[in-house]
Structure 1
């Protein structure tokens, strides 16, 4: 981790050969032998002048230990915030039903729903402002119809006004300011998780957490499984379950590691999916998708077969309708939906109005539950002909993975099961962080002449133990990773500079103390 090496470790500084920064214990100690300590046990050959050549592959272990320690101590607060805010977001579906039941559900399920045209007329009577952007028929018998309006003052914030109508009575149940279909509460919790309501600056916290999360997970797995192999008393059970009879820091370390092992796959998925829509690493991902042409095909909503494939999804409300702020002339919404159903678009759908008189209606499936249904169709507003279609099967693999990953990250891909898994991962991450800090505190010196508030960091200068070929390969790899994940790269560089300065200050103090002695 460090670019400097100390001439000698200060009293109480843990040796570099221990993955948790502790000295190799005596048999009766409360700690277990470490992977690197065991691997480094054989004496290295002596060089001329009585020095020892310490460059060995086992040098990776103390270096990885130091990286894991510093990243854990400094990045864990960001991860803790992300875990707790993410935990709150997992409950969004239930919170929405609790807070907005008046808008989202009908009081009594009737026998026959009114035509969508009548429901839209009721919504427009109550809310004549703006223009109709889309209509979302009820997804279940006890759900309301959503009429989404594009209102100029809200469009600047990428928000809409959604009017909720009882499909059986035509009664307007209320209206909410929504963001891509999310209720105000869901939007507030989403903003809290993404940027703590601090705007673009706040997004740096979540990207920093996601950038380091996969490093901490992979590093922790390497250290733990390496330690289990090196520890003579280790077993497969102790790798996946807490060690029986362990006490003190050994018990905390075991719980910390085992918790990480069980949730590691989920953490890696969350890290990867979170980075795809981050500010800086997300830009790199966008460049990759562009170079690979890995975007979902766009639905052509032009009546003339023109190039503006995004027109059918324009919710700006810029088109002139047949009636002011109403629907365009030609087919009714009910007829458009009928044509889409006949074309095979079953399940939940969203019907978007034409952008102008040269565009079609667009109907898109919105079923995000696995297996997803996300086909789209363009419907001619005059003839009812399906002029274009995009099927989920047509999406490139990377586009599919991105879509599915984002939905899994948001807890909507597998319904309630997805929410429960995310909650368990968030609680597990929180537990692992608390245990990590507990280990740091438990390892503090407690003797009268060596007291300290927390444990010391693993010894610096461990990179000097690595073979030159390993350094030659690692350096460009680290640079490449830093380019792909800019916040990871810059924060790692900051760690190295700070660590080098601290090492320089320590050596000068040690030199002054030696001169005075």
Structure 2
């Protein structure tokens, strides 16, 4: 028989419901759940930056063809002669057409390529004025304002890809995209492998890693098959784009450069100091044979031919760039500028008074990291393998766009469609992956993630921001659930 409550007492309130147990959804394990949630949010939030990078990179792949259409009449000659004229005659013709500034470098023309005489002056800033001369007639074909040898069109496309024409601030977008691209690519491969391994035999697993499973039902599973399979095919290329893009980014690139310095892995410097030679003492009086500074001094035109002859004798074949010294009393430099495979990047320093090679630096002697960095940049720019390189980069850009579109389509296809639960997109994977990880994984993973975040600052900052926001949102959601939970009645005692 029940008894009534004693006077002055009140029914105790029920304890608030405990947080739901940590049960990561669709991950199969704490690690899988964490990776799935990271891949999902990185894809949703970083994909817009990747879309912009892919579109602007796709535009940059056709830069050589754009140059040919816009500037072909200046950069190439209509008729190839039997033998080029002396470089001195070509430089003199360029000087007559462009008396301002000083000659910074000359690339003698060969075949159907015009000679490029580059003029520099303080008022030009980082840019130069390049005069194009027919090497067979010394006729000036025109001039362009260039940036480290790039035409105005190529410079415009390069700036669009690197910083969206927003200067230093715009560089953050491309570095953010490159910082997350390798994480998204590798995470996607791991997730797809885990899914296929759990559902099929090993042979079928490998097959469906490389070929989409067309037997899957229409909808999110079919889309996921195309998204993941194409992503697997693109992984190596995307990792390459991420790594090479980061090497000259603002923050990660600075850390990469510091690493090269600490390992003494940069391309060796070429000494331009003039010392006594077997042919006689070096001329250090700053006379005409040794050129003049880039501030407008006059360089003896005949010296270009002497320096070029000395470099050819030393074995520098193919296209080269001849540069007078920036300061009087120093050697001239001749550098191979063939960036197509196999590249030719040997350099020599030449005393123009005696036509003697005073120093040499061969590409074969560069440190391995310096070689890889240089080759990677040329491949990223689409020039290492010529048109094939351009086609591969274009295919990577188009493939990445397809993967992103399919990723967003999966998000939309997973949306609730019931009348009482309609939503614009699917729900994100459940939280709880980090808290469910074993302690030893956290012991290794946290310092490793911190080290990566230090090396790639924009990745580290955005990841920290995501974790902070996600923690705050999760805490707010738990408070709302507790406040909305009904109080259970307490049965009367007996």
CA distance in 2, matches of 1:270, 1:8: 42
Following superposition, the deviation at residue 242 of structure 1 comes to 1.1
Structure 1 alignment gaps of length 5 or more? 1-5, 20-35, 37-57, 306-316
| Counterpart among 70, 82, 86 of residue 99 in structure 1 | 70
Whether contact under 8 Å (1:442, 1:455) holds in the other structure is: yes
Following superposition, the deviation at residue 516 of structure 1 comes to 7.7
Aligned to 2:7: none
Equivalent residue runs for 1:386-425 within 5 Å: 386-425=357-396
The 3 A distance-change label for structure 1 pair 460 and 320 is: closer
CA distance in 1, matches of 2:330, 2:152: 31
> Which moves more between the two structures, 435-444 or 502-511?
502-511
Aligned to 2:117: 147
| Counterpart among 20, 24, 31 of residue 16 in structure 1 | 24
Whether contact under 8 Å (1:370, 1:413) holds in the other structure is: yes
Aligned to 2:205: 235
Aligned to 1:72: 43
CA distance in 2, matches of 1:137, 1:320: 20
Following superposition, the deviation at residue 325 of structure 1 comes to 4.6
Write the deviation string for residues 29-70 of structure 1: whole angstroms up to 9, x where unpaired.
xxxxxxx2xxxxxxxxxxxxxxxxxxxxx3100000000000
Whether contact under 8 Å (2:347, 2:362) holds in the other structure is: yes
CA distance in 1, matches of 2:404, 2:170: 22
> Is 1:7 equivalent to 2:15 in the alignment?
no
CA distance in 1, matches of 2:369, 2:340: 19
> Is 1:327 equivalent to 2:299 in the alignment?
yes
| Counterpart among 483, 486, 498 of residue 469 in structure 2 | 498
Following superposition, the deviation at residue 501 of structure 1 comes to 1.4
CA distance in 2, matches of 1:121, 1:262: 54
Whether contact under 8 Å (2:102, 2:294) holds in the other structure is: no
> Is 1:452 equivalent to 2:423 in the alignment?
yes
Whether contact under 8 Å (2:73, 2:141) holds in the other structure is: yes
Whether contact under 8 Å (1:179, 1:187) holds in the other structure is: yes
Following superposition, the deviation at residue 253 of structure 1 comes to 0.6
Whether contact under 8 Å (2:306, 2:352) holds in the other structure is: no
Aligned to 2:90: 119
Whether contact under 8 Å (1:304, 1:358) holds in the other structure is: no
Aligned to 1:253: 224
CA distance in 2, matches of 1:465, 1:76: 28
Match of 2:169, SS state, is helix
Write the deviation string for residues 52-97 of structure 1: whole angstroms up to 9, x where unpaired.
xxxxxx3100000000000000000001100110011111111111
Whether contact under 8 Å (1:128, 1:325) holds in the other structure is: no
Following superposition, the deviation at residue 166 of structure 1 comes to 1.0
- TM-score, scaled to structure 2: 0.89
Higher alpha-carbon Rg: 2
Following superposition, the deviation at residue 102 of structure 1 comes to 1.5
Aligned to 1:189: 157
Whether contact under 8 Å (1:165, 1:172) holds in the other structure is: yes
Whether contact under 8 Å (1:328, 1:354) holds in the other structure is: no
Following superposition, the deviation at residue 463 of structure 1 comes to 1.3
Whether contact under 8 Å (1:373, 1:392) holds in the other structure is: yes
Match of 1:128, SS state, is coil
Aligned to 1:168: 136
Write the deviation string for residues 478-515 of structure 1: whole angstroms up to 9, x where unpaired.
11111111110110000011111111221122122214
> Is 1:285 equivalent to 2:256 in the alignment?
yes
Following superposition, the deviation at residue 15 of structure 1 comes to 7.0
CA distance in 2, matches of 1:130, 1:358: 20
Whether contact under 8 Å (1:163, 1:172) holds in the other structure is: yes
Match of 1:364, SS state, is strand
Write the deviation string for residues 404-454 of structure 1: whole angstroms up to 9, x where unpaired.
111111111111111111110000101000000000000000001111000
Q: How many residues align?
A: 454
Equivalent residue runs for 1:33-72 within 5 Å: 36=28, 58-72=29-43
Match of 1:422, SS state, is helix
Whether contact under 8 Å (1:149, 1:161) holds in the other structure is: yes
CA distance in 2, matches of 1:112, 1:475: 66
CA distance in 1, matches of 2:78, 2:426: 60
CA distance in 2, matches of 1:152, 1:318: 15
CA RMSD of aligned residues (A): 1.9
Match of 1:347, SS state, is coil
Whether contact under 8 Å (2:193, 2:205) holds in the other structure is: no
The 3 A distance-change label for structure 1 pair 357 and 232 is: closer
Whether contact under 8 Å (2:292, 2:299) holds in the other structure is: no
| Counterpart among 182, 185, 199 of residue 217 in structure 1 | 185
CA distance in 1, matches of 2:403, 2:433: 26
Match of 2:170, SS state, is helix
> Which moves more between the two structures, 86-95 or 105-114?
105-114
Aligned to 1:244: 214
Following superposition, the deviation at residue 111 of structure 1 comes to 2.2
Following superposition, the deviation at residue 141 of structure 1 comes to 1.1
Whether contact under 8 Å (2:382, 2:390) holds in the other structure is: yes
CA distance in 1, matches of 2:258, 2:307: 37
